[in-house]
Structure 1
């Protein structure tokens, strides 16, 4: 590498902006995270068959090198292009619910072993494993388990596996080139409402424009907004595991809303 600029750290990994010998600008993550880097690279390549993502330049045992994405301010027009692009990504589909690579969200491992249907996958591969890690009071655990028992009943119309980002909060959408570029995926075959619910959880500039364009390209099934809390259970549990009880109230509010469906 010709030069490198330190950008700080995230989840225990050093971040750099670098220039390669051939003049290309790159974004570099450095750390002993070979499985995490391999998973991220696999997800980016898979999503990149359909959507705008950084190019994977190198995925090694101690570093992940991606093409540099120049950021720009979001706009209504970019949000609409992103909404249509996200719908096309989801519609590209997946072989099943899961993925052939190990999953990670932040530094936490996720089981991507395929399951026969989405409610079973979501319960056994996403919600219950993180519930066991969350160290919640017994009464909270029991309430979450009651919600899990209702997944098949409240999941809405059966849909084929979608090709989803899997961790689609606003920080993982870079505005560049007049649209949104996807970064840091937890990509797998899942339910498309999961990505929409994640955008809703933490907000996104011009989210109404994103969703409006998405609906024009591929309308979600009726009742999807009522199912948003169902799809937010997993990311809220992740935040409880990573950051503690500050997210407990949000989680339990979502659980009660699922039980009320």
Structure 2
């Protein structure tokens, strides 16, 4: 007898503004760009916040040249899925540290943009219990979950109020892409093709990562992820999230 897979819930859609917080250029494109494309199509506002510029991400390009190149590719990538606001915090790629400085920077962005939904990437030790996650992903994911609460507490980081950033306690959910324990999903049908195009904008990174033809690599990776999630989402291609309500 075939075991029935527990189905994922539909992502909440009664929101208008989202802030997506990740460590590096390309994290969102590997993680959830198809969902973001659908949200911007529906008129929702999504802002990207990157902790670093990914300057240590390409072995053959020195950081001083790599950082500006990856920033340019990230802005082009975001535009493909309807995102025009892309900000960088300039933490050092590869050695981003979890702590109060990172929490403060993310909390400040949450207060500036006042999102109802915050998105981040897998903050746990592994990908699927098989592949070790990077320190940057773990640090930024955990700091983002914490900063969603920090942003609403006037007594945490009071210096932000002095900078004109009043507390924002309006974050209703933090959604983690790439989680081993997803709870919700978004239909990726409408946004899947643009997610492929969006990931392809990171051409310098992809060409340094694989000898495979870039479009084939991007399409294979993203389609496989969407199909994997579909088994728990009514056989619809999907982007899965672990959603933490607040």
Instruction: Give yes or no for TM over 0.5.
Output: no
Q: Which structure shows the bigger proportion of residues in helix conformation?
A: 1
Please report the TM-score for the alignment, with normalisation by the length of structure 1: 0.25
